[in-house]
């Protein structure tokens, strides 16, 4: 991982320029190597993942967005590349559910403890069932929100899967 941008874990992510978030704390406590990549967030941005990819010069396929959907058993987390969209049928099937629908933003913020556009799959208020798109495993490292807009974590996808206790499945679709 590059040292050129941001702070490096696992030691003391919390005291590094005020960039400690529940996600970075979770990685640090687990002893996982990661790199923080801060960027200037545009308050008018609507596509947060694309904004991060453009700001950091990272291909859209390597930056993953965290989405929360309602399934029959409650809320669940989907981690998919910003290059595409969540396939709700595939996501539901990966969780053994018949259907899934995107959850309301206010409910997602309340349950995860993060704001939309800065939702990390790590360090949420309570662990939700998680599915990571299997394309993540094609990369040595992937990027995802560190828990606030303007800050991305880069780490090995296997660590993301392990720490979220996720399953992997093809849940993303292009377009």
Statement: residue 171 has pLDDT above 70: yes
pLDDT reported for residue 2: 37
Query: Which of helix, strand or coil describes residue 108?
Result: helix
| 86 vs 117, more confident | 86
Statement: residue 89 has pLDDT above 70: yes
Question: If you average pLDDT over residues 53-66, what whole number do you get?
Answer: 95
C-alpha to C-alpha distance for 123 and 45, rounded to whole angstroms: 24
**Among the ranges given (32-46, 73-87, 129-143), the one the predictor scored with the smallest mean pLDDT:** 32-46
C-alpha to C-alpha distance for 41 and 70, rounded to whole angstroms: 28
**Mean pLDDT (the chain, rounded):** 89
C-alpha to C-alpha distance for 93 and 88, rounded to whole angstroms: 8
Question: If you average pLDDT over residues 98-123, what whole number do you get?
Answer: 95
Q: Cβ–Cβ contacts within 10 Å for residue 44, how many?
A: 6
pLDDT reported for residue 45: 82
pLDDT 10s digits, 90-102: 999 999 999 999 9
| 13 vs 148, more confident | 148
Report the phi/psi class of residue 82: left, alpha or beta, with left for phi > 0 and alpha for psi in -120 to 50: alpha
pLDDT 10s digits, 2-51: 333 344 443 333 334 456 899 999 999 999 999 999 999 888 888 888 99
Overall pTM surpassing 0.75 (yes/no): yes
């Amino acid at each position: 991982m590059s040292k050129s941008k941001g702070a490096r874990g696992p030691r003391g992510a919390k005291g590094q320029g005020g960039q400690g978030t529940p996600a970075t704390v979770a990685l640090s406590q687990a002893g996982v190597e990661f790199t923080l990549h801060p960027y200037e967030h545009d308050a008018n941005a609507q596509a947060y993942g694309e904004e991060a990819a453009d700001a950091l010069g990272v291909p859209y396929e390597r930056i993953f967005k965290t989405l929360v959907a309602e399934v029959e058993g409650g809320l669940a987390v989907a981690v998919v590349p910003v290059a595409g969209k969540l396939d709700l049928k595939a996501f539901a099937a990966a969780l053994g559910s018949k259907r899934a629908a995107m959850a309301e933003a206010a409910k997602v913020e309340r349950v995860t403890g993060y704001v939309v556009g800065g939702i990390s799959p790590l360090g949420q208020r309570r662990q939700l069932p998680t599915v990571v798109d299997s394309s993540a495993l094609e990369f040595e490292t992937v990027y995802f929100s560190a828990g606030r807009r303007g800050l991305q974590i880069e780490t090995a996808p296997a660590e993301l899967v392990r720490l979220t206790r996720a399953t992997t499945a093809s849940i993303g679709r292009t377009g």
